[in-house]
Homo-oligomer: A and B are copies of this chain.
Amino acid sequence: MNKHAKEPTSIWYPGDYEIWLGNQMNNRRTERGTFFPPFWKTDNHYPMVEFSKKFSLNEPEEIEIAVEGRYNVKLNGVFQFGEPRKMVIPAGEQHLKIKVFNQATPPALFLRGKTVFTDSTWLATSEDKEWIDESGKVSDASATTYVPAGSWHFRNAGQKPSEFRLATEPQQPVSVERLGGGTLVDFGRETFGYPVIHGLQGKGQFKLYYGESVEEALSEEWCETLDFLDIDQPEKADRTLTQSQAYRWIFVKNDSGVHYDSISMLYEYLPLEYRGEFRCNDSQINKIWDVAAYTMHLTTREFFIDGIKRDRWVWSGDATQSYLLNYYLFFDTPSVERTMALLRGKDPVSSHINTIMDYTFYWFISVYDYYLYTGEKRFIELYYPRMVSLMDWVLGRRNENGMVEGLAGDWVFIDWADGYLDKRGEVSFEQLLLCRSLEAMALCAEVYGDHEMVPEYRNMARILKGKLFDYFWDKEKQVFVHNRIDGVPSETVTRYTNMFAIFFDYLTQEQKESVKKNVLLNDRVLQITTPYMRFYELEALCATGDFDYVMREIKSYWGGMLELGATSFWEKYDPQETGAEHWAMYAKPYRKSLCHAWGASPIYLLGKYFAGVKPTSPGYETYTVEPVLGGLKWLDATVPTPKGDIKLYVSENQLKVKSDTGVGTLRFYSLTKPVIKGIEFKELGNNRFEMSIQPNVQYDIEIQMP
């Protein structure tokens, strides 16, 4: 999917290439040399797709055609001979149809003439229903479902979508050390790519043990990933391994019959521009932002994945955070669209996304986030029918109280927790996410034009929200309880429902205060130890205005990882642990991912709540800027939008803003009312002011922060 409709690009059935490429990626996981595929349903592409376009030519035009698959060409209903790679289309009204068959990889078409070329304005169908009766009459085509073709960034006939590879560049180790019968190679920081053995020669086994920690690389028994090569190489040669891996350290051990000169690697990455930026006077925060950005880049690959060492899979809950981070860093919309398409897959629905109930709900919510941030309707236009079929499946699994609970095959995840987390019965958090998903469905139904369903989804959301408060809101404690089994609400209070309810804006001011005091700031409530839920916990505290507290938490939690030498952020972090305890998870000593997308959330928190920039209508047509120093002396930020950047600088006595796009509303505190000719500062009371930001104007405002 691609908005650059002015350039030729390879096209395919929307979602099909994404599924195929995603399968390639999700199936690269290995565990100590053994292939480790996902456990959820893997879809496949339509082997036969017809692409078509109607257009008009003023003069004849030669086109070139490049296809992945066997194909035919029909111009105005007439077959062209063979599989033409070039042809001349005469002047006049034209209807060009190209039908492609390919079982191995998705049928793909690249076509280019002077004015005619493939792009997302072409149509695709997986069944054209064009039968021909005895008299030669072609069937009525009105029953054929045409959808806009999918595309990405394949801009010439030589770039076959099925041959797509990420970019690579050579990297050298920063140190090499003989140790314990082998050689420890250190690349200086967390990295990802193909190990290269230089000057390899001889016969015997060559072993590479990978480590995100030095302990892991040196643990031949417990390191999570490794490669054992059987070498039989009479002539000296370089060898690049065919599977990329994640590591900082590689421990190399070779049989005595095998020799080599040195080890380097090919760093593998998706080329992306770092459009977002955040600098401030606090070098620790700057370091946190940089390491978070690097973590994001490492995990933003063919798709947004969880972590680079172990799963390397696309998980909806993880990806939903990656999308939000992406909007404050790369603003790479195709990566969001690819990932959402892969996660949704195809009908029929047979389980939750990734089998996880909460992950299905995050997917719905992420589609609306996408529309809000990018202003693109494209994904909704293509996927609304699959949103409906997924929601129908979810609604069909509600219990007699109209609520969801984990049935056989449903994984109720919520979070990894150090302590018992009850997943039984009606979990309040799942009802809350379903309620938000129904709200997202109502909004998407509106975008798609399914006007009948807008009030339906709204009504279902309203009723479920009512149940959330009727069944789970503890009137005495003034907080949400965790779950309800056989109609009996539990006594347990957890953070999840409570904190989400704050930033979903489901609570009154009074309720918010109670939740903050009794849950968020209450140490006796089960603590959160993953950056995954820390993301939402700190977002809730931003929503309640506790910026200084959040800034301290960012410094202590993410700063804590940096103090332990982190060069990327982790899957889980518990400040109570010491030494190699930090590397353990899932009952294994080095199983924890030390580069996990959900570890990068400061990017989002700093961009949205400290720089304070967020869209208030789709695609930043309108937006707000409400900067907060939160204890910093100054901050200097760039927030990307679909049509340019919003840049701002804030210190205690200065506020500079410039935006390339939309109409913004700037709100800030100042003890004095600024005066600039031609600009109206609206007084909001309580030393708060508001002004309008017009595009392409540099605002430089003297303020006096309280």
Binding site for B on A (CB under 8 A): 20, 23-24, 27, 31-48, 70-72, 79-83, 99, 101, 103-105, 126-132, 134-136, 139-140, 142-145, 228, 347-348, 350-351, 355, 407-411, 416-417, 585-588
User: Taking A103-B20, A103-B104 as contacts, is the C-beta distance between A350 and B37 under 8 angstroms?
Assistant: no
With both beta carbons as reference points, the residue of chain B lying nearest to A24 in the complex is identified as: B103
Given A20-B103, A105-B104, A129-B355: A79 in contact with B34 (beta carbons within 8 A): yes
Q: A32-B81, A46-B42 given as contacts; is B99 within 8 A of A37 (CB)?
A: yes
Quote the shortest CB–CB distance from A593 to chain B (angstroms): 13
Contact B101 A37 (CB under 8 A): yes
Main secondary structure of the interface of A (DSSP, over half): loop
Nearest Cβ distance between residue A72 and chain B, in whole angstroms?
A: 4
Q: Contact: B40 with A79, CB < 8 Å?
A: no
Residues of B within 8 A of A42 (CB): 46-48, 101, 126-127
- B355 close to A131 (CB less than 8 A): yes
> Which residues does chain B contribute within 8 Å of A104, judged by CB atoms?
103-105
A72 to B37, CA, bound (A): 9
> Which interface residue of A31, A48, A82, A126 has the most chain B CB atoms within 10 A?
A48
Question: Which chain B residues lie closer than 8 Å to A145 at the CB level?
Answer: 350
Shortest CB–CB separation between residue A175 and chain B, in angstroms?
31
Q: Which residues of the other chain, B, contact A24 by a CB distance below 8 angstroms? A: 103
If A33-B81, A34-B82, A44-B44 touch, whether A103 touches B101 (CB-CB below 8 Å) is no
Q: Closest CB of chain B to A302's CB: distance in Å? A: 14
A-B contacts, 19 listed (Cβ < 8 Å): A23-B103, A31-B79, A32-B81, A35-B101, A36-B72, A36-B79, A40-B127, A41-B126, A42-B47, A42-B126, A43-B47, A127-B350, A132-B586, A135-B587, A139-B355, A140-B409, A144-B409, A347-B347, A348-B348
**Distance in angstroms between the alpha carbons of A135 and B418 in the assembled complex:** 10
Q: Which chain B residues lie closer than 8 Å to A134 at the CB level? A: 416-417, 585-586
Give min CB distance, A37 to chain B, whole Å.
5
Given contacts A129-B355, A586-B134, contact A35 B103 (CB under 8 A): no
* A588 closest partner in B (C-beta): B136
Complex Cα spacing A139 to B143, Å: 43
Residues on B with C-beta less than 8 A from A48 are 23, 27, 37-38, 42
Contacts of A127 in B (CB 8 A): 39-42, 350-351, 355
Q: Which of B43, B44, B82 contacts A33 (CB 8 A)?
A: B82
Judge whether A587 and B103 touch: CB under 8 Å: no
- Complex contacts, A38 vs chain B, CB 8 Å: 48
Residues of B near A46 (CB, < 8 A) are 41-42, 44
B35 near A83 with CB under 8 A, answer yes
A582 nearest CB across to chain B (Å)? 16
Contact A35 B129 (CB under 8 A): no
Distance in Å: Cβ of A141 to nearest Cβ of chain B: 9
Tell me the complex Cα distance, A43–B517, Å.
56
Cβ–Cβ contact A34 & B80, under 8 A: yes
Separation of A105 and B99 alpha carbons in the complex (Å): 21
Please report the C-alpha to C-alpha distance between residue A39 and residue B39 in the assembled complex, in whole angstroms: 34
Q: State whether A71 touches B35 (Cβ < 8 A).
A: yes
Closest Cβ–Cβ distance, residue A74 to chain B (whole Å): 9
What B residues does A83 contact at CB under 8 A? 35
Q: How far is it, in angstroms, between the C-alpha of A144 and the C-alpha of B41 when the chains are bound?
A: 11
Complex-state Cα separation, A409 to B144, whole angstroms: 7
Q: How far is the CB of A109 from chain B (nearest CB, A)?
A: 14
Cα A350 to Cα B128 in complex, Å, equals 12
- Alpha-carbon gap, A47 to B24, bound state (A): 10
Roughly how many angstroms separate A351 CA and B27 CA in the complex, as a whole number?
Answer: 33
A411–B139 contact, CB under 8 A?
A: yes
Q: Which of B80, B128, B408 is within 8 Å of A143, CB to CB?
A: B408
Q: Measured between alpha carbons, how far is A130 from B351 in the docked complex, in Å?
A: 13
What 7 A-B pairs have minimum CB-CB distances, sorted nearest first? A143-B409, A143-B408, A104-B104, A44-B44, A41-B127, A42-B48, A136-B587
Residue of B nearest to A40 (CB): B127
Q: Which residues of chain B have C-beta atoms less than 8 A from A586's C-beta?
A: 132, 134-136
Apart from A39-B130, A42-B101, A44-B46, 5 more pairs, CB < 8 Å = A41-B126, A41-B127, A103-B104, A134-B417, A143-B351
Residue numbers in B under 8 Å from A34 (CB-CB): 72, 79-82
The residue in chain B whose Cβ has the minimal distance to the Cβ of A84 is B34
Structural contact, A27 and B105, CB atoms closer than 8 A: no
Expressed in whole angstroms, the Cα–Cα distance for A409 and B146 within the complex equals 13
CB distance from A574 to the nearest CB of B (A): 13
Q: Which residue of B lies closest to A350 (CB)?
A: B127
Query: CA of A44 to CA of B350 in the docked complex: distance in angstroms?
Result: 17
Partner of A351, one of B80, B99, B129, B142: B129
What separation, in Å, do the CA atoms of A347 and B416 have in the docked complex? 35
Closest to A104 in B: B104
CA distance A130 to B37 in the complex (A): 11
Interchain CA distance A40-B82 in the complex, whole Å: 22
A408 touches B142 (CB 8 A): yes
CA–CA, A140 to B411, complex, Å? 10
Q: How near does chain B come to A151, taking the closest CB pair, in angstroms?
A: 20
Determine the chain B residues whose CB is within 8 A of the CB of A31 once the complex forms.
Answer: 79
One of B72, B129, B416 near A40 (C-beta < 8 A) = B129
Q: Are B79 and A140 in contact (CB under 8 A)?
A: no
- Once A72-B34, A72-B37, A127-B41 are accepted as A-B contacts, the answer to whether A27 and B101 lie under 8 Å apart by CB is yes
- Report A145 CB to chain B, min CB distance, Å: 8
How far, in whole Å, are A494 and B135 apart by their CA atoms in the complex? 20
Inside 8 A of A103's CB, which chain B residues have their CB? Answer: 20, 23-24, 44, 104-105
Q: From A42, which residue of chain B is reached at the shortest CB distance? A: B48
Residues of B within 8 A of A143 (CB): 351, 407-410
Residues of B within 8 A of A33 (CB): 81-82
Closest Cβ neighbor of A407 among chain B residues: B143
